[in-house]
């Protein structure tokens, strides 16, 4: 069988799927489908070599009980070389890497080629450096050979290339994720051709702003939003998340790519969800438990919104029904007490196991006609439903999508050891052996209650929990006891001169996510305020 025949052979594709790098991935499509979508000839992708190297790094990290650390911003050709010399084995690239040189992207709006072009420039720069190093070594060998002082066997090998990991599409960019699954496939193709080794696919909606969606900053720089109205972290339903992962994997299969796929969920910091259609999201979707005179969208200003939420007493459907029945409290509301309430709730749970909130609500209503719960009245002007994000939501999603990706990543906006530990424990129980990633946020020297000594123990702690990859912002290098003076100086004075000069609020090295992102949020709110 020729190379071209093997490339288009469903049997050969099936055999590849049985290889160690591919065997753990679930695919809802057949090898015949992949063969029919392939071009007549295979493309020669440099990214495959780098992807296999990345897989080796992650596997070695798990076997050695350590976590591989990558920097999360300020990556350019010079800093990449300094990272390699400092001992870093992987690097993370996002649109935010260009923030200091391109003001047009400060609001998070990027073209579909922004990150792939950045990846390609960095990757080809590494190739050029590798060629130059080999030439320098060759010239040194010739000189030493003439002087009879050494042989070629004593020469140092060319410096190794660092595998690059990136987001398939910054969720805040307004393209790709938010539009079509074929759009995701096109983005994946751009990344494969750029030389990327790993990419992550998110479940966020994709709206720019300080707290709405994570984007590249969600990995290493977005401030956690804790006050009412300070921002919206919006995610899509589980079924849409699965379709995104499947679309990305299909494109990788069509191209014969070994790229490491990373399923990153924003459920841990989510405040809203776009739809209630999926039953698997039901435990986290909130609704009003008291009827009010008007819906949330009619509130005037943030204080009015906060008061509306207080009066509505938002709860999930199951929590609201349990509370209404008085199960676990001993007193039911309007239907009696004791055993009857418990039996009704157990009947509700058993009969609604695979129902979404809309379907389950009517079961609850048929059991207790006086019960009230409304997920429609708290919807935002964009139509988003309130969502109870947290570590349990992240665990739920990670367990569901684990068969669709190589790595699971719960995107966090603030490091909490208890959350990281609970996520790892629950995921490992359900999906043993699955690679897991984590991220740190901001400058730990600014975090209240966390000393540098405590921070320096984070990588070892995460490694003991089974995490194999950790993304950190350069601001945390000192606290973690990592990096070199040259690398830190470069990141401060070359890669991030604008950021370093504009700590607008005095609290965040990623000032532009808070300031410029907030402007984008306010603009979007103003546009849709009263139409």
The CATH number of whichever domain residue 286 belongs to comes to 1.10.10.850
- CA 447 to CA 450: how far, in whole Å? 6
The answer as to whether 374 is a domain residue is no
The answer as to whether 48 is a domain residue is yes
The answer as to whether 149 is a domain residue is no
Residue 160 sits in the same domain as residue 192 = yes
Query: For the purposes of burial, counting CB atoms within 10 Å of the CB of 366, is it exposed (0-12), middle (13-18) or buried (19 or more)?
Result: exposed
> Residue 156 has what pLDDT?
41
The answer as to whether 292 is a domain residue is yes
Residue 412 sits in the same domain as residue 345 = no
- Inter-residue contact 172 to 99 (CB < 8 Å): no
- Inter-residue contact 36 to 252 (CB < 8 Å): no
- CA 218 to CA 239: how far, in whole Å? 22
CATH (domain of 203): 3.20.20.60
Residue 80 sits in the same domain as residue 10 = yes
Q: Which two tokens stand for residue 399?
A: 């367990």
Helix boundaries (H) for 147-237:
181-194, 215-220
Total tally of structural domains belonging to the chain? 2
> Residue 253 has what pLDDT?
97
- Bridge partners of residue 272, in order along the sequence: 234, 386
The parent domain of residue 122 ranges over 3-16+39-132+155-271+395-527
The answer as to whether 126 is a domain residue is yes
Query: For the purposes of burial, counting CB atoms within 10 Å of the CB of 157, is it exposed (0-12), middle (13-18) or buried (19 or more)?
Result: exposed
> Residue 215 has what pLDDT?
40
The response to whether 170 counts as a known ligand-binding position is yes
Residue 351 sits in the same domain as residue 474 = no
- Give the residue among 497, 479, 470, 494 at the shortest CA–CA distance from 443: 479
Terminal CA-CA length for the chain? 63
- Inter-residue contact 430 to 408 (CB < 8 Å): no
Residue 203 sits in the same domain as residue 331 = no
Q: Note the pTM of the prediction, 2 decimals.
A: 0.85
The answer as to whether 30 is a domain residue is no
> Residue 262 has what pLDDT?
97
Residue 178 sits in the same domain as residue 262 = yes
Q: Which two tokens stand for residue 90?
A: 């992987």
The answer as to whether 346 is a domain residue is yes
The answer as to whether 174 is a domain residue is yes
| Phi/psi of residue 263, nearest 5 degrees | -95, 105
Residue 500 sits in the same domain as residue 419 = yes
> Residue 440 has what pLDDT?
87
Residue 316 sits in the same domain as residue 457 = no
Residue 259 sits in the same domain as residue 293 = no
Q: How many helices (H) and strands (E) does the chain have?
A: 21, 13
Q: What is the dihedral of CA 186, 189, 195, 198, to 10 degrees?
A: 80
Residue 258 sits in the same domain as residue 296 = no
* Chunked mean pLDDT (size 10), the chain, 531 residues: 89 96 95 95 85 96 95 79 88 67 48 84 88 76 57 46 83 47 92 94 68 40 38 90 96 96 96 97 98 94 92 97 82 53 94 96 96 96 95 98 97 91 98 95 59 82 96 76 74 60 49 57 63 58
- CA 348 to CA 342: how far, in whole Å? 10
Residue 168 sits in the same domain as residue 265 = yes
Helix or strand (DSSP H, E) at 469: strand 467-472
Q: What is the dihedral of CA 358, 364, 369, 373, to 10 degrees?
A: -50
> Residue 179 has what pLDDT?
53
> Residue 446 has what pLDDT?
53
Residue 178 sits in the same domain as residue 303 = no
- CA 449 to CA 181: how far, in whole Å? 43
> Residue 130 has what pLDDT?
82
Strands (E), 141-243: 164-167, 198-202, 234-235
Helix (H, G, I), strand (E, B) or coil at 435: strand
- Inter-residue contact 13 to 37 (CB < 8 Å): no
């Amino acid at each position: 069988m020729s190379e071209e025949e093997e490339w288009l052979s469903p049997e050969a594709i099936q055999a590849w799927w049985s290889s160690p790098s591919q065997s753990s991935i679930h695919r809802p499509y057949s090898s015949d489908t992949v063969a029919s979508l392939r071009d007549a000839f295979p493309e020669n992708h440099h990214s495959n070599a780098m992807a296999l190297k990345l897989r080796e790094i992650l596997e070695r990290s798990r076997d050695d009980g350590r976590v591989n650390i990558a920097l999360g911003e300020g990556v350019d050709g010079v800093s990449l070389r300094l990272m390699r010399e400092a001992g870093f084995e992987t690097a993370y690239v996002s649109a935010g890497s260009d923030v200091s040189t391109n003001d047009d992207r400060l609001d998070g709006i990027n073209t579909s080629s922004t990150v792939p072009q950045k990846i390609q420039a960095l990757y080809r720069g590494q190739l050029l450096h590798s060629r130059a190093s080999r030439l320098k070594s060759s010239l040194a060998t010739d000189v030493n050979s003439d002087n009879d002082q050494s042989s070629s066997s004593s020469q140092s090998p060319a410096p190794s290339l660092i595998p690059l990991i990136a987001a398939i599409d910054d969720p805040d960019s307004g393209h790709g994720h938010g539009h079509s699954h074929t759009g995701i496939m096109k983005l994946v193709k751009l990344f494969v051709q750029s030389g990327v080794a790993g990419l992550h696919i998110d479940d966020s909606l994709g709206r720019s702003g300080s707290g709405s969606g994570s984007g590249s900053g969600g990995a290493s720089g977005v401030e956690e939003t804790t006050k009412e109205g300070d921002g919206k972290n919006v995610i899509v339903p589980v079924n849409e998340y699965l379709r995104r992962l499947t679309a990305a994997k299909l494109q990788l299969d069509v191209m014969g790519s070994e790229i490491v796929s990373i399923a990153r969920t924003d459920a841990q910091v989510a405040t809203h969800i776009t739809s209630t259609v999926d039953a698997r999201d039901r435990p986290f979707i909130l609704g009003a438990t008291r009827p009010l005179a008007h819906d949330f969208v009619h509130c005037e200003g943030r204080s009015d919104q906060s008061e509306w939420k207080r009066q509505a007493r938002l709860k999930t459907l199951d929590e609201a029904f349990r509370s209404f029945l008085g199960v676990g409290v001993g007193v039911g509301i309007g239907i009696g007490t004791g055993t009857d309430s418990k039996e009704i709730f157990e009947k509700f749970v058993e009969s609604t196991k695979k129902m979404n909130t809309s379907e389950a609500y009517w079961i609850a209503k048929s059991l207790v006609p006086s019960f009230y719960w409304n997920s429609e009245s708290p919807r935002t002007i964009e139509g988003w439903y309130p969502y109870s994000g947290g570590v349990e939501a992240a665990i739920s999603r990670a367990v569901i999508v684990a068969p669709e990706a190589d790595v699971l990543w719960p995107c966090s906006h603030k490091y909490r050891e208890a959350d990281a530990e609970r996520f790892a424990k629950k995921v490992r129980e359900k999906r043993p052996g699955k690679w897991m990633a984590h991220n740190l946020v901001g400058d730990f020297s600014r975090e209240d209650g966390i000393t540098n000594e405590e921070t320096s123990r984070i990588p070892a702690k995460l490694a003991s929990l089974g995490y194999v990859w950790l993304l950190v912002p350069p601001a945390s290098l000192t606290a973690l006891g990592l990096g070199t003076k040259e690398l830190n100086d470069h990141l401060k004075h070359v890669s991030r001169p604008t950021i370093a000069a504009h700590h607008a609020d005095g609290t965040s090295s990623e000032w532009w996510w808070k300031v410029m992102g907030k402007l984008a949020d306010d603009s979007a709110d103003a546009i849709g305020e009263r139409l």
